[in-house]
């Protein structure tokens, strides 16, 4: 597969460097169809069609890259967006605009290839699969931003000022409020306790247990982890309903 690309950057030298890097890509191969020095020129190229991916800078004169990406969301089948910028602080906003990836300059070839491979997988997927993959959390850890699909999350647990986001192979730390996540994603998660939400589709059993300190209570067994989470009596009916569903 050959990905057809548009490079958008107000600096000619930056466009030239990126074109050279894209020329070194082999899996997937990339054909640069056009370049643009600002958002107006870019939109003119985009409206001509035939593009698979836009390599987009953030800071440009006039309309910036973020605004252009926001405008593309209204198109019926927009090209994928990979941001390429010297400014790391816009990564969260970029992922909220459904960018495929966010690269910081100077761009390394192996990092560029990984981003392009994401585009290739999206282009080879069925539309229904792409549409169903939109719900995610943006996790910021140790100076980097990562998109974690909610479909991969087993539970969300409030711990002090942060939330532990547990997947089958990793724990992430998320800065947010559990109540906000419940309001946004209640169709995916059920509250089991005042400090925890669990994935509805991961609930495997609700079991009675006896604790020498707290006495008798309930726990939920989840697919993908050995850990059991406590279920409050107040939430017991909702958890059992999730199990039946």
Task: Please say which residue of 67, 101, 131 terminates a domain.
Answer: 131
Domains contained in the chain, number: 2
Whether residues 123 and 12 fall in one domain: yes
Structure tokens at 173: 């730390």
- pLDDT of 166 reads 95
Task: Please say which residue of 131, 163, 196 terminates a domain.
Answer: 131
What is the residue-level pLDDT of the chain in tens, covering all 245 positions?
799 999 999 999 999 999 999 999 988 999 999 999 999 999 999 998 899 999 999 999 888 999 999 898 878 788 999 999 888 777 777 777 778 888 988 899 999 998 999 888 877 754 333 333 457 888 877 667 788 889 999 999 998 788 999 999 889 999 888 998 998 899 899 999 999 999 999 998 988 887 676 678 899 999 999 999 999 989 998 888 887 76
**Is the backbone peptide bond immediately before 28 cis, with ω within 30 degrees of 0?**
yes
- pLDDT of 213 reads 67
Structure tokens at 219: 């726990």
Contact yes or no for 57/88 (Cβ under 8 A): no
Q: Find the CATH number of the domain harbouring 63.
A: 3.40.50.2300
Whether residues 77 and 106 fall in one domain: yes
Query: Has residue 8 been placed in a domain?
Result: yes
Query: Has residue 40 been placed in a domain?
Result: yes
Query: Has residue 138 been placed in a domain?
Result: no
Q: Percentage helix, strand, coil, to 5, in the chain?
A: 35, 35, 30
Contact yes or no for 53/81 (Cβ under 8 A): yes
The domain in which residue 226 lies consists of: 144-244
Whether residues 109 and 173 fall in one domain: no
Task: Please say which residue of 131, 152, 183 terminates a domain.
Answer: 131
Whether residues 80 and 158 fall in one domain: no
Q: Which residues have a Cβ under 8 Å from the Cβ of 44 and sit 6 or more positions away?
A: 36
- pLDDT of 143 reads 67
Whether residues 99 and 73 fall in one domain: yes
Whether residues 116 and 152 fall in one domain: no
Q: Find the CATH number of the domain harbouring 224.
A: 2.40.50.1020
Neighbours of 173 (CB within 10 A): 14
Query: Has residue 136 been placed in a domain?
Result: no
- pLDDT of 90 reads 77
- pLDDT of 214 reads 62
Structure tokens at 172: 């992430």
The whole-model pTM stands at 0.55
Query: Has residue 181 been placed in a domain?
Result: yes
């Amino acid at each position: 597969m050959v990905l057809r690309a548009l490079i958008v950057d107000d600096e000619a030298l930056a466009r030239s460097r990126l074109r050279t890097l894209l020329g070194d890509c082999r899996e997937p191969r990339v054909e640069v169809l056009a370049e643009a020095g600002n958002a107006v020129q870019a939109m003119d190229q985009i409206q001509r069609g035939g593009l698979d991916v836009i390599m987009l800078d953030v800071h440009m004169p006039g309309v910036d890259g973020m605004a252009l990406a926001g405008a593309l969301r209204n198109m019926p089948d927009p090209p994928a967006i990979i941001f390429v910028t010297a400014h790391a602080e816009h990564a969260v906003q970029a992922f909220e605009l459904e960018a495929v990836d966010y690269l910081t300059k100077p761009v390394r070839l192996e990092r560029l290839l990984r981003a392009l491979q994401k585009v290739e997988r999206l282009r080879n997927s069925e539309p229904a699969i792409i549409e169903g993959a939109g719900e995610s959390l943006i996790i910021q850890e140790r100076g980097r931003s990562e998109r974690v699909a909610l479909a991969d999350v087993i539970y969300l647990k409030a711990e002090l000022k942060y939330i532990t986001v547990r997947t089958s192979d990793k724990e992430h730390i998320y800065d947010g409020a559990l109540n906000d996540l419940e309001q946004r994603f209640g169709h995916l998660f059920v509250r089991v306790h005042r400090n925890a939400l669990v994935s509805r589709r991961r609930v495997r059993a609700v079991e009675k247990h006896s604790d020498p300190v707290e006495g008798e209570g309930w726990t939920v067994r989840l697919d993908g982890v050995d850990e059991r989470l406590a279920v409050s009596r107040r939430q017991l009916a909702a958890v059992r309903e999730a199990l039946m569903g």
